[in-house]
Amino acid sequence: MNTFSHIVSWLFGILLVALSGFVALETVSRKIFNYSFQGADELGGYVLAVGGALSFSVALIERGHIRIDLLHGRFSPRLQAFLNWVAYVSLAIFGLFLARYCWLVVRDTVEYGSVAPTAWATPMIWPQSVWYGAMLIFTGISVWTAIAATRLLFSGEIDRLNDEYHTKSVMEELKEELDDLKARN
């Protein structure tokens, strides 16, 4: 899973840098040559929609979703495990909700033959299909992790559930950052 997370993070970063370059080129072209390539904002929307959807998966894999854990560490391990399980089941339910309603958007796009209201008039089925695919990846990962957490909870593996599904502590995040810094040097 970390390989997937790493690849998606790099891909999204490359897309954002490329988009930034295109926007800069568009801006210079408009100011100096009074010519617009058209579509920088359209491409930006597509990149952010797909990248945002994929970032849900990255945050889930890396346990980066925010939870309010002010009291979590003070609870018994059993209650912590239950709350961790509830968090992952909630994400799975949210993922299923997204999958259903994003499908309705894609279905309507096909039914109406929607195109972007831009100079390119892009058939919306293409970017929306990629966006929907990214949402399905999140849904699949969220359901898979919820099932794994459920198995751990009901088999009594409380410590393992807490170890694998709790939010990252400040010390864990600091260790990751220091390890990353060490790897770059």
pLDDT per residue as tens, the chain (185 positions): 678 888 988 998 999 999 999 999 999 999 999 998 888 888 989 999 999 999 999 999 988 877 777 787 788 999 999 999 999 999 999 999 999 999 999 999 999 999 998 888 899 999 999 999 999 999 999 999 999 999 999 999 999 999 999 887 777 888 888 888 888 88
Question: How many domains are there within the chain?
Answer: 1
End-to-end alpha carbon distance in the chain:
25
CA distance 131 to 138: 11
Q: What is the distance between the alpha carbons of residues 103 and 95, in angstroms, rounded to a whole number?
A: 12
The total number of residues shown for the chain amounts to 185
Which range marks the domain in which residue 143 is found? 2-184
Q: Are 95 and 142 in contact (CB under 8 A)?
A: yes
| H or E element in which residue 47 lies | helix 40-61
Give how far the C-alpha of residue 39 lies from the chain's centroid of Cα atoms, to the nearest Å.
24
Burial of 80 from C-beta contacts in 10 A (0-12 / 13-18 / 19+): buried
Q: For residue 4, what are its two tokens?
A: 């997937």
Q: Among all chains, which residue has been given the structure tokens 């009291």?
A: 71
